[in-house]
Structure 1
Amino acid sequence: MIPVQGYRGKRVAVLGLGRSGLSAARALRAGGADSVVWDDNEAARIRAQEAGFTPEDLARSGAMDGLAALIVSPGIAHLYPAPHRGVAAALEAGVPVDNDIGLFFRSLATAEWENFDKTPRVVAVTGSNGKSTTAALIHHVLCMAGRESQLAGNIGRGVLDIDPPGDGGVVVLELSSYQTDLARALTPDIAVFTNLSADHLDRHAGPGGYFAAKRRLFAEGGPDRAIIGVDEPEGRFLANQLSEGSGDDRVIRVASGHVQDRSGWLILARKGFLSEWRKGRQVASVDLRDIAGLPGVHNHQNACAAYAAARCLGISPKVIGQAFHDFAGLPHRSQPVGEKNGVRFINDSKATNAASAAKALSAFRNIRWICGGLEKEGGLDPVVPYLGNVAKAYVIGREAAGFALHLAAIPHEVCTTMTVAVDRAVAEACPGDVVLLAPAAASFDQYDNFEVRGMDFIAEVGRHVNA
């Protein structure tokens, strides 16, 4: 645990008692603060009571009196589309609002660090798609290289639940826009921006607010190294703002396809190969084509970002390449879950928006595509260029018929449930086909989260593969 510094003897409230909220409450208590907690969900309040906390409604009159800070969990709106009533009360009362990420950065360094030969480092990864795989891959490379590493944030453990890093230790964080938007302290040593596509627009009042939330990690964090995916305009803009010129190697650009300017530090993914360029010269390369845990161009881009971070931490290209080949991939992200009669089954339940689904569709051919769910703003335009890879779509979700209206250009079938979708895809699949779950939608109309949706797919596939 990372005990929170700066609040000893003070009263601090925690709003939202999921994984990060309870972690923050415990870390505040460990640092000597008096933790006040609340969640609108009764079951969450009961769990907090079992952990030794006394819930107090933070929206009641006078609840903000004497508070030093309000710590808000990521799932709770603090500005758009409207602040939670507890947050609104804090804003009205002038109580500082923060989150567990802000507490982490203000509390990580201790006096013990003065005795270390190497100061611990923090690598923070954000972006719309690929940040989980990128963060996990960085962590994997570090472990394979014999370096102390911990994975936390939006993946792995809560940031305040990790152990204090030792001499030369590295903490790898995956950070969502909800987390970067609110944190009052953001000071990573290395920051990674994978890409940007339409997502969470209601929480950020549109694409500008969404990009601004991601940009805070760089503009306010001031990392020593910034690794920026530049395939989209936002990435190119961010890299331009952070760089003093094309030769400024504090900014490492990650790209796929043609890049005209190679005078700086560039990591390029093309035709299945990763190449590292420094000052106009190629200095290293890694063959990514046969790495089972990193299928498709999108994962090759993730590999480039992870490679750049590992290079910043002093790991050699040879060691990084060896570690890539040992990477098994993450659950629910282009995850192979079975094969029978020449038909492969791939679980990409994490493809919760159209842009991430498009990347999955680009990675395979002859696809039996299981899609649908709670549709997000922005529509399905990103998948259109890859519909030629789809033999047929099988649409799930409570509003499957409405979702299917976007798929008029390809054969499709309204299935509603995962059971029916998998049964129909298996019945019609031919050797060489790929049955792919890449929903291009949120899961909350039928499932608690994308993990539960992915596990349902795996279970349905198992009925056929193991029959």
Structure 2
Amino acid sequence: MIPVQGYAGRCVAVLGLGRSGLATCHALAAGGALPLAWDDSPDARARAEAEGVALHDLSRADWSQVAALVSSPGIAHLYPEPNRHIAAALAAGVPVDNDIGLFFRSFATADTMAMDQPPKVVAVTGSNGKSTTTALIHHILTALGRPCQMAGNIGTGVLSITPPVEGEVVVLELSSYQTELARALTPDIAVFTNLSPDHLDRHGGMGGYFAAKRRLFAEGGPDRAVIGVDEPEGLFMAGQLAEAAEDARVIRISSGQKLAGPGWNIFARKGFLAEYRAGRQVASIDLRAMPGLPGAHNHQNACAAYAVARSLGAAPRVIEDAMASFTGLPHRSQLVAEAGGVRYINDSKATNADSAAKALQAFERIRWIAGGLGKDGGITALAQHLDRVTKAYLIGHSARDFALQLGEHPHEVCDTIEQATARAMAEAQTGDTVLLAPAAASFDQFPDFEARGSAFIAAVQAGLGRT
């Protein structure tokens, strides 16, 4: 646990008692603060009481006695409209923060700063690839024997990690919900993978969404920034952060285009990762045979992780060996099975059209399972990738909308993931890939994308007669 600094003897309201909220309560108490915990959900309140967290109804709070309000990431504080408790705190002039802000406020202590090699924080944000990039960085550093922890939007809550030891690296995955509200953002290395439309209602549009991501760099002031420049926003931000074209504090990364110039550039083309510094190639890695990193989108993730590892002093060949042993993450281009010449891939994390496009580009002769709670635009943007799709099997709330958008392309409305998987398996031929890449949220039929992915795995195993 990371005890929260700066609030000893003061009341701090905590809104939202999920994983991060409960961890915040315990970390505040460990730092001597008095947490006032609340959640509008009776179930969440019951779980908190079972953990010994005292509840305080924030609708009755005396805000003049509260030093700060700490909100969980999923609670809206501005768009589409502020939560009523957050609105009351803001009206009373009470600062609003989140657990990420508390973490950066509390991570550095007198003990850590006295170490010969103080611990470092790597923070990863972007629209797609955050989780894989974060896990790959953690995997590489662990393989190199360096102490490392992974937290944030993946794995452990940031305040629940073990206090770091000398030379340790903490790798955080940060969503736009987390970067937007945090009052402190001070990573040593910050990574921006890419940007595509997502969560636009929460951020008041694309500009607000980009601004939330950009805060990690503009306000965080990292010692080194790793920036994906395949979209205009990333290219713009890299230009803003660099003092000159040769400024090596900014590492530009790309998947699909060669990056030129006198700076520090890392890119992947045709399955090969190349590192250039001062206009000269210094390293190359063959990514094609790495089973945990299929497709161009994962090659971008590899570029980002490689850049971080190089920034921390690792040699190219050592990084390559570590990458080769990376098996990937569950529900992210996960190879579930291969039988009868057919591959079964679980990419349930592909919850929007852009991430689904990356999955479709990674395979050929696809029997595509898609659908769920569709987002703005549905799958119209995926028309250019349908030449790889033999047939689509549509599920969930958006199944019929997706069917209309597919037009004459072969498709079948199956409603449930079990029906869709069974139909795809029955029709699959040698050389086909049965791919779950929903291009939609899961909340119509499942509590989260993990549950949806697990249902697909179970359906594949049942179809293959496995348990």
Q: TM-score category by the smaller chain? A: over 0.9
Change (3 A) 1:152 1:260: closer
**In the alignment, is residue 56 of structure 1 matched against residue 53 of structure 2?**
no
Segments of structure 2 that go 5 or more residues without pairing to the other structure are none
Corresponding residue of 1:332: 331
Residues 364-395 of structure 1 show CA distances to partners (whole Å, capped at 9, x for unaligned) of 00000000011112432442221110000000
Q: Is the 2:180–2:215 contact (alpha carbons within 8 Å) kept by the matching residues of 1?
A: yes
Whether the 8 Å contact between 1:57 and 1:63 is mirrored in structure 2 is no
In structure 2, the residue matched to 1:262 is 261
Q: Deviations over 1:427-465 (max 9, x none)?
A: 111111000000000000110000000000000001112
The code of the aligned residue for 2:396 comes to G
Task: Give the letter for the 1:14 counterpart.
Answer: V
Q: Which residue of 2 aligns with 1:438?
A: 437
Please report how far the alpha carbon of residue 55 of structure 1 lies from its aligned counterpart in structure 2 after TM superposition: 1.7
Matches within 5 A, 1:3-402: 3-60=3-60, 62-259=61-258, 261-402=260-401
Superposition deviation, residue 115 in structure 1: 3.2
Shift of 1:260: 5.5
Work out the percentage of aligned pairs sharing the same amino acid: 67
Q: Any runs of at least 4 consecutive aligned residues in structure 1 with deviations exceeding 3 A, and if so which?
A: none
What secondary structure does 1:152 align onto?
strand
1:262 Cα offset (Å) = 2.8
Provide the C-alpha distance between the structure 1 equivalents of 2:440 and 2:171, rounded to a whole number of angstroms: 28
For residues 409 and 223 of structure 1, what CA distance do their matches in structure 2 show? 50
Aligned to 2:464: 465
> Which has the larger displacement, 62-71 or 246-255?
62-71
Helix, strand or coil at the partner of 2:63: coil
**CA shift at 1:246, angstroms?**
1.4
Q: Deviations over 1:125-175 (max 9, x none)?
A: 000000100000000000000100000000010000001111111000000
Q: Which amino acid aligns with 2:284?
A: S
* Distance in 1 separating the partners of 2:107 and 2:254: 33
AA of the residue aligned to 1:30: A
Distance of aligned partners of 1:339 and 1:35 in 2 relative to their CA distance in 1, 3 Å threshold: same
Letter in 1 for 2:394: V
Deviation at 1:63, TM superposition (A): 4.1
Match for 2:353: what amino acid? A
Contact 2:380 2:405 in 1 (8 A): no
Provide the rounded CA distance (Å) in 2 between the counterparts of 1:33 and 1:257. 50
Whether the 8 Å contact between 1:198 and 1:378 is mirrored in structure 2 is: no
Find out whether 1:421 has 2:384 as its counterpart.
Answer: no
Query: In the alignment, is the contact (CA less than 8 A) between 1:198 and 1:377 conserved in 2?
Result: no
**2:453 partner amino acid:** G
Q: Are the counterparts in 2 of residues 102 and 183 from structure 1 also a CA contact under 8 Å?
A: yes
Q: Do the aligned partners of residues 244 and 368 (structure 1) sit closer, same or farther apart at CA in structure 2, a change above 3 Å counting?
A: same
What is the deviation of 1:52?
1.5
TM-score normalised according to structure 2 size? 0.98
Structure 1, residues 58-83: CA drift from partner, whole Å, max 9, x if none? 133x4423000000001110110001
Q: How far apart, in 1, do the equivalents of 2:287 and 2:226 lie?
A: 20
Q: How many residues align?
A: 466
The answer as to whether partners of 1:73 and 1:99 remain within 8 angstroms in 2 is yes
Determine if contact 2:4/2:27 at 8 Å carries over to the other structure.
yes
* Distance (whole Å) between structure 2 residues aligned to residue 7 and residue 260 of structure 1: 47
In structure 2, C-alpha distance between the alignment counterparts of 1:466 and 1:137, rounded to whole Å: 32
* Structure 1: runs of 5+ lacking an equivalent: none
Q: Distance in 1 between matches of 2:377 and 2:413?
A: 22
CA distance in 1, matches of 2:325, 2:256: 26
d(CA) in 1 for partners of 2:442 and 2:63?
35
C-alpha distance in 2, partners of 1:13/1:150? 28
Opposite residue 384 of structure 1, the aligned amino acid is A
The letter of the residue matching 2:31 is G
> Is the CA contact (8 Å cut-off) linking 1:36 and 1:53 kept in structure 2?
no
Cα gap change, 1:128/1:260 in structure 2, threshold over 3 Å: closer, same or farther? closer
- Distance in 2 (CA, whole Å) between partners of 1:106 and 1:437 is 40
Instruction: Give the secondary-structure state (helix, strand or coil) at the position aligned to 1:413.
Output: strand
With normalisation by structure 1, the TM-score equals 0.98
1:308 and 1:260 map into 2 onto residues whose CA distance is 14
Distance in 2, matches of 1:23 and 1:142, equals 26
1:398 Cα deviation after fit: 2.5
Indicate conservation of the 8 Å contact 1:191/1:223, yes or no.
Answer: yes
- Secondary structure of 2:373's match? coil
